[in-house]
Amino acid sequence: MTITTEKVLVDHLISFESHQSPFECAIRGIELPVIAEFERDGRLSCPDFKMTDRVVEADGAERTRTAFPNISRLTGNHVLTAVQSDVAPKGKRVAVLFSGGPAAGGHNVVAGIRRILGPDNTLFGIKAGPLGLMLGDCFEIGLSDVDGILNTGGFDFLGSDRTKIKTAEDMARVLATVQKFKLDGIIVVGGDDSNTNAAFIADYLAPHDCAVIGVPKTIDGDLQVGDLVPISFGFDTATKIYSEIVGNILQDTPSSRKYWHFIKLMGRSASHVALEVALQTHPAVTLISEEIAARNMTLSQVVEQIAEAVVARAASGINHGVVLIPEGVIEFIPEIKALVRVSNEFMAGDDVPTASMAARVQRFGNHLNSDMKILFAGLPESIQTKLLMDRDSHGNLQVSQIPSEELFIELTEKRVAELDPAVKFAPLNHFFGYEGRCGAPTRFDAVYTYNLGLVAGALVVRGKSGYMAGVSDIASGGKGVAIPLSGLITTERRSGGDHMVIKKALVEMESPAFKFFESRREAWAKSDMFSSPGPRQLWGPLGNQVPMTVALNLGAESLGFLIGR
Amino acid sequence: MTITTEKVLVDHLISFESHQSPFECAIRGIELPVIAEFERDGRLSCPDFKMTDRVVEADGAERTRTAFPNISRLTGNHVLTAVQSDVAPKGKRVAVLFSGGPAAGGHNVVAGIRRILGPDNTLFGIKAGPLGLMLGDCFEIGLSDVDGILNTGGFDFLGSDRTKIKTAEDMARVLATVQKFKLDGIIVVGGDDSNTNAAFIADYLAPHDCAVIGVPKTIDGDLQVGDLVPISFGFDTATKIYSEIVGNILQDTPSSRKYWHFIKLMGRSASHVALEVALQTHPAVTLISEEIAARNMTLSQVVEQIAEAVVARAASGINHGVVLIPEGVIEFIPEIKALVRVSNEFMAGDDVPTASMAARVQRFGNHLNSDMKILFAGLPESIQTKLLMDRDSHGNLQVSQIPSEELFIELTEKRVAELDPAVKFAPLNHFFGYEGRCGAPTRFDAVYTYNLGLVAGALVVRGKSGYMAGVSDIASGGKGVAIPLSGLITTERRSGGDHMVIKKALVEMESPAFKFFESRREAWAKSDMFSSPGPRQLWGPLGNQVPMTVALNLGAESLGFLIGR
């Protein structure tokens, strides 16, 4: 390379590599205020916890108590709250792991834990999630090791995986790791399933004096416990990332004046992500899975709703728009769910033609009862084919494998042509998911997760076990709380029997957030009333907002949060 | 709706609708410094322009002079530079239009024009691009009308389209609009084709005393004139948006530890966008179309490069990565281009089987010479099918219709399995384009476009015609310049004859930006050295950066820009 004059710049650019971009360097310096009980004379101080009168209990509490005898007894399903303390625990050995898909702020949880443990306790990072816990794949995290990951996105400091720890053998392997590293505690950062898993491990390890604490993570936003866990971490960042992109595309529609964008948004079951993005951006149509289920809507009814918006807007000269589709929507349409089940049975049978897909489609069609026959016949060929694909080793087609955005595009196209052949309808499709999981956290997620780490770390060194760490009162300084995991768990009938689960928080038809959306969506469908919330800002006047759904559902008067000030 | 406590918040949220999000309200207040010659006593002041000694001329200047006799004579192909003036023009009537795809900052161009025209001149907005100019679809833009669009993304204030004004009839319609509205000038905001079109209109309207000025817009970044037009507007914003998304996905890869993301980036011919995003993020592999063409690479050579990176990283335990693919890459692979041509001929012939696609594939295979036969046989079935689809009314399959990211995924998968069947390779694909065209402009694009608007407006009211507005010296205060359009135009042989065009600025193999990329890419491929540039920041320490390719190619010592201070 024969670069001379710009040598200074070249050296500068090379110095940006490996997580040293100007942005990454600057965000490490963002101030992270902490909850009052975690600070004394301007320095971090490990609080203790006292039991409150508040009891948390889900349906079927009796059954849960039987399944989790140890932690039910220890916690009594009472909420704990942090109180200042003069004595800090010493010599404790703690491990932390990430479980499931990444979410913004995970690194700050680790940083918070490491710092509240201080120099007198030891923290281990477990590599690559629950599997690493069973394998004993740990490394010690020094106090200064977390400086570099502060406020950065991703889970790469530890890695993550989706292994479930469930059999007696799995538990024995966890115990071996606990004994090998002489652990006094384990912190599991994960979603609803991972926190259920944490409860099982907590109960199992209780006789071995190893505490287990969960931390509520998931961009889907479906792990919530009222005011105690107003939202799981990562949701704010993910929805702000999606909202920016959707806002940009909305802004493109009246500029280009010719496209309808069908945008699928990640969030496996619940529609919190789609609802939040809708509140931020005001697109023409937003599907809410929970509403479709609550109203028992058929596929054609859902399509009708979109097609009518397309036709009505065209009548006002607007040949563009945006449709938001929650990733899980298909599973909320009862007739589609049934059709997939029948297709699974059919494909497992002896009567599957192999000569051609056309023959298969015909045979399957004959096989169906009359309602399903009509439904199947009305599906686009690509979806029919998808339903009758050869199955992989698992045998079942998952409903989620049906490309819903393409399905809605094809059916809307057909229906619009029926309603008014003169309407111009040029659809495009997008799926946003991976884009939002690992961005650098918003200020809210950064501060929230750092404090969640402080709470989780303090709980575990105080020997508290079977809780989920929480930060309540996020609009007024924040409080460190601990929610009993056994109080969150209920029994759910799933295929193959009963399962103990933490119930997913779905969008409630009666929630203020949904009600607000419902009251505005007709106006948004009629004409362009969209807004562009812009890229999330870490500096300047816009840094301190919580998600709109959270503010509405908490009954807050503003979008601002205030932790630790 | 029965909302009570959060009524304040509900009203607040409703007030955000229709472009009034907190972000949109805040960005309107961002300060826009202006070039020294455009300011007197702290107020905008319309400069005059003087001819410099600097001549701009492309290849075949003699031919261009013949095609554009009027503007060639008027400009002499000399560059103009802005100089302060005591007398401001009055009573001028000017119209502005957007042409082609939207790019961030277009609204600021209009705001800059409107403000430099001041209260003594009239500005019309032409609705929906060149077509609107022919239809005379104009509306008057008042001084305060531009306050609301300041620093917002999109082209929706006017709308845009892609109509080409070329026939004598088209020109006559433009003249009719000029006469109807008594226009003294027209400003065309567009890319290379639109600026060529502006030159034709300028030449045609010269005898009618109507000046025509172009403004260099395109997110593709392929409209550049050395230091005079270091970059077209919109490129900085688009690449910063893509870089954030790519950075987030990169950050996801070592967190999830299992995916290779193949990311196609908008930018029809040139690879400037892919190169800039690569410089910002440092992914494992980035294809540069111009390099593929320069090295005369075959499809398998390109695939080999990706597959080798996959295998080499797997050997170090890294089963993830990111591959950036410029949208136009397929057209730069000579053998694919040839194959598409042959398929177009075949499909136009009498020998196309209609019974089944399989028969068609077979017949076409037999039809090919031996080299092409091998190439075709090696393509995934989905691509073979795509090549032999029934043609629409236009008859030809465009090379761009081949989904290159899927092609590279399938071929890489095959090749990796050949090289080492043990390697885990789980690919995902993305296409980012619309996401980046209409975001709110970065500070650079906001300031640059506002000043481009000032320059364009001043030129047109001074009666200068046949120029492209420019802002040079962007690192040291900025200078208002005018580049003669006839000096940029050359003759290119395209299908169907010779065409007068502004040559697209492609990535040069000898440019500092490419050289720098070339010197670093092996290191980036070997292990994770990526960075996350983060969301573009409008406030705080990171607001004042120009694209890295621009800084490198200009020989700048830093990434900072300085216009008007």
Which residues are CB-neighbours of A19 under 8 A, at least 6 positions away?
A: A148, A152, B530, B531, B532
Q: Which of B184, B192, B203, B220 is catalytic?
A: B220
List CB contacts (< 8 A) between A155 and chain B. 255-256
pLDDT above 80 for B5: no
As a whole number of angstroms, the distance between CA B482 and CA B503 comes to 18
Residue-level pLDDT at B495: 65
pLDDT above 50 for A2: no
Compare CB distances from B255 to A9, A438, A542 and report the shortest one's residue. Answer: A438
More confident residue, A250 or A557: A250
As a whole number of angstroms, the distance between CA B103 and CA A275 comes to 28
> Model confidence over B195-217: pLDDT tens digits?
999 999 999 999 999 999 999 99
Residue-level pLDDT at A496: 67
Compare CB distances from A156 to B155, B251, B557 and report the shortest one's residue. Answer: B251
CB contact under 8 A, A539 and B534: no
pLDDT above 60 for A535: yes
Start-end ranges of CATH 3.40.50.460 in chain A? 237-436
How sure is the predictor about A1, in pLDDT bands with cuts at 50, 70 and 90?
A: very low
CB-defined contacts A:B, below 8 A: 288
Name the nearest CA neighbour of A330 among A230, A387, A401, A272. Answer: A401
How sure is the predictor about A390, in pLDDT bands with cuts at 50, 70 and 90?
A: confident
* Count, residues in chain B: 565
Residue-level pLDDT at A25: 96
Residue-level pLDDT at A394: 61
How sure is the predictor about A450, in pLDDT bands with cuts at 50, 70 and 90?
A: very high
Q: Is B473 part of the annotated catalytic residue set?
A: no
Q: Give the architecture (CATH level 2) of A47-234+441-502.
A: 3-Layer(aba) Sandwich (3.40)
> Model confidence over B173-182: pLDDT tens digits?
999 999 999 9
As a whole number of angstroms, the distance between CA B88 and CA A306 comes to 54
Find out whether B64 and B203 touch, Cβ atoms under 8 Å: no
Q: How far is B361 from chain A (nearest CA, A)?
A: 17
How sure is the predictor about B547, in pLDDT bands with cuts at 50, 70 and 90?
A: very high
Compare CB distances from A555 to B5, B24, B533 and report the shortest one's residue. Answer: B5
Tell me whether strands B93-99 and B122-126 are parallel, antiparallel or unpaired.
parallel
Residue-level pLDDT at B496: 67
- Nearest-CA residue of chain A relative to B240? A535
How sure is the predictor about A290, in pLDDT bands with cuts at 50, 70 and 90?
A: very high
Find out whether A435 and B248 touch, Cβ atoms under 8 Å: yes
Output the CATH code of domain A237-436. Answer: 3.40.50.460
Q: How far is B417 from chain A (nearest CA, A)?
A: 19
Q: Where are the beta strands (DSSP E) in B194-326?
A: 211-216, 260-265, 285-286, 321-326
CB contact under 8 A, A156 and B530: no
Strand, helix or coil for residue A98:
strand
Start-end ranges of CATH 3.40.50.460 in chain B? 237-435
Find out whether A541 and A559 touch, Cβ atoms under 8 Å: no
Q: Is the dihedral of CA A224, A186, A448, B246 positive or negative?
A: negative
Average pLDDT over residues B144-172: 96
> Model confidence over B343-400: pLDDT tens digits?
989 998 888 888 888 899 999 999 999 999 999 999 998 899 889 988 876 667 777 7
CB contact under 8 A, B535 and A537: yes
As a whole number of angstroms, the distance between CA A542 and CA B181 comes to 43
List CB contacts (< 8 A) between A18 and chain B. 528-531
Residue-level pLDDT at B441: 98
List CB contacts (< 8 A) between A552 and chain B. 6, 9-10, 13
CB contact under 8 A, B282 and A17: yes
Compare CB distances from B552 to A6, A24, A539 and report the shortest one's residue. Answer: A6
List CB contacts (< 8 A) between A535 and chain B. 241, 244, 439-440, 535-538
Q: Which of A184, A193, A220, A236 is catalytic?
A: A220
Q: How far is A270 from chain B (nearest CA, A)?
A: 22
- Nearest-CA residue of chain A relative to B155? A255
Residue-level pLDDT at B3: 45
CB contact under 8 A, B538 and A538: no
Query: What is B69-234+441-485+541-554's CATH topology?
Result: Rossmann fold (3.40.50)
Place of tokens 């009509």: A374
Find out whether B438 and A251 touch, Cβ atoms under 8 Å: yes
pTM assigned to the model: 0.96
Measured from the Cβ of residue A176, the count of other Cβ atoms closer than 10 Å reads 13
List CB contacts (< 8 A) between B2 and chain A. 515
Name the nearest CA neighbour of A532 among B162, B538, B545. Answer: B538
Q: How far is A231 from chain B (nearest CA, A)?
A: 18
Average pLDDT over residues B453-480: 97
CB contact under 8 A, A542 and B22: yes
Compare CB distances from B252 to A13, A280, A434 and report the shortest one's residue. Answer: A434
Start-end ranges of CATH 3.40.50.450 in chain B? 69-234+441-485+541-554
Place of tokens 């993550």: A160
List CB contacts (< 8 A) between B148 and chain A. none
> Model confidence over A129-153: pLDDT tens digits?
999 999 999 999 999 999 999 999 9
Average pLDDT over residues A506-531: 97
Q: How far is B487 from chain A (nearest CA, A)?
A: 29
CB contact under 8 A, A160 and B255: yes
DSSP string over B146-189: GGGGTT--SSTTT-EE-----SHHHHHHHHHHHHHHT-SEEEEE
Output the CATH code of domain B237-435. Answer: 3.40.50.460
As a whole number of angstroms, the distance between CA B33 and CA B451 comes to 8
CB contact under 8 A, A552 and B152: no
What are residue B30's phi and psi, to 5 degrees? -65, 135
Q: How far is B186 from chain A (nearest CA, A)?
A: 20
CB contact under 8 A, A155 and B23: no
pLDDT averaged over chain B?
94
pLDDT above 80 for A107: yes
> Model confidence over A154-173: pLDDT tens digits?
999 999 999 999 899 999 99
List CB contacts (< 8 A) between A446 and chain B. none
Q: How far is B70 from chain A (nearest CA, A)?
A: 33
pLDDT above 60 for B2: no
> Model confidence over A19-43: pLDDT tens digits?
999 999 999 999 999 999 999 999 9
- Nearest-CA residue of chain A relative to B151? A534
Share of chain A above pLDDT 90, in %: 86
Find out whether B321 and B258 touch, Cβ atoms under 8 Å: no
CB contact under 8 A, B438 and A102: no
Residue to substitute from A537, A545, A559, A561, interface B, most B β-carbons within 10 A = A537
CB contact under 8 A, A529 and B254: no
> Model confidence over B300-348: pLDDT tens digits?
999 999 999 999 999 999 999 999 999 999 989 999 989 988 998 999 8
CB contact under 8 A, B154 and A252: yes
Compare CB distances from A102 to B252, B438, B440 and report the shortest one's residue. Answer: B252
Measured from the Cβ of residue B182, the count of other Cβ atoms closer than 10 Å reads 11
CB contact under 8 A, A255 and B437: yes
Compare CB distances from B6 to A434, A436, A557 and report the shortest one's residue. Answer: A557
Find out whether B27 and A534 touch, Cβ atoms under 8 Å: yes
pLDDT above 80 for A115: yes
pLDDT above 50 for B1: no
As a whole number of angstroms, the distance between CA B129 and CA B485 comes to 20
Q: How far is B102 from chain A (nearest CA, A)?
A: 7
As a whole number of angstroms, the distance between CA A152 and CA A28 comes to 7
CB contact under 8 A, B9 and A156: no
Mutual angle of helices A7-14 and B512-526, in 10-degree steps: 20
- Listed range (A63-67, A492-496, A522-526, B407-411) with the worst mean pLDDT: A492-496
- Nearest-CA residue of chain B relative to A1? B515
